[in-house]
Structure 1
Amino acid sequence: MTRYVVLIAYSRSEWEGASEETRDYYFAAHDAFSAYVAQHGTEHGSGALADPERATTVRREGRARDGELVVTSGPFAEAVEHVGGYYDVELPDLDHAVAAASLLPSAYTVEIRPTITIT
């Protein structure tokens, strides 16, 4: 089994302008994703994220360890799509992760990343 983080990016305007029928489709797609993962592995967690305007970005000036800490309000980068949610899942392999991701709404851009253990 491999643990993956499934990142979901979408255009906020698509959701804001979605009909009740479209929103129901989105919820059903997320239910299908969770059911697939439950059948083939484990869902360790998931969540929706606040809008990018509520983000806080932290970096060191000059990227040096002793550089000045810079904290800014808002996202790291401006983009039409933003990461709006995630799933933390454990599945047998990448093929299963791709199959699960294919159940999510087609308007999403989905990034699947295996987690690693740092020793």
Structure 2
Amino acid sequence: MKYILLMYHTEGVFTPEELPREMQYSLELCKELHAKGQFLGASPLLPVSAATSLSSKSGRLDVVDGPFAETKEQLGGYVLVDVPNLDDAIEVAQKFPAAKRGTVEIRPLFELEGIPKVTD
């Protein structure tokens, strides 16, 4: 089963000294998942100040700089995994730094026939 692990935390939750260490740790986790054939993709995201939000109301498209919702926790990145079940996805998710200082949302992917496959 394929899952997306959405990493939420407040910006600045990791100090400038901690951030490189935590990113390296996350990279090593991704390499471990890859070695097991469970890694599908991952990426950290730029800060919410780089975000653009789109919304369409009454047939009018609005484009706004920044995130749409005002929340303390922001989406900081994602990891895509292919593991047998939710328990295994939880086991993977709890290892990432966001699980210790934020929230990791785990969602199964809805696999839609006809979506082009990404190739290396």
C-alpha distance in 2 between matches for 1:24 and 1:104: 14
Q: Over alpha carbons, which structure has the higher Rg?
A: 1
What CA RMSD, in Å, does the superposition of the two structures yield over aligned residues? 2.0
Are 2:35 and 1:43 aligned?
no
Which residue number corresponds to residue 83 of structure 1? Answer: 75
Structure number having the greater helix percentage:
1
Which residue number corresponds to residue 93 of structure 1? Answer: 85
Does structure 2 retain, via aligned residues, the 8 Å contact 1:7–1:86? yes
Which residue number corresponds to residue 54 of structure 1? Answer: 50
Is the deviation greater in 74-83 or in 34-43? 34-43
C-alpha distance in 2 between matches for 1:77 and 1:86: 18
Which residue number corresponds to residue 110 of structure 1? Answer: 104
For normalisation by structure 2, the TM-score amounts to 0.79
After superposition, the Cα gap between the structure-2 partners of 1:32 and 1:93, relative to the gap in structure 1 and judged at 3 Å, is farther
In the TM superposition, residue 14 of structure 1 has moved relative to its aligned partner by 1.5
Gaps of 5+ in 2: 114-120
Which residue number corresponds to residue 30 of structure 2? Answer: 34
After superposition, the Cα gap between the structure-2 partners of 1:38 and 1:61, relative to the gap in structure 1 and judged at 3 Å, is same
Q: Report the identity percentage.
A: 30
| Aligned length, in residue pairs | 111
C-alpha distance in 2 between matches for 1:27 and 1:51: 15
In the TM superposition, residue 32 of structure 1 has moved relative to its aligned partner by 5.1
Aligned to 2:5, the other structure's residue is in SS state strand
Does structure 2 retain, via aligned residues, the 8 Å contact 1:4–1:113? yes
- Residue deviations 1:65-106 (CA, integer Å, cap 9, x gap): xx1111111101111110010011111111111000111121
Which residue number corresponds to residue 13 of structure 2? Answer: 14
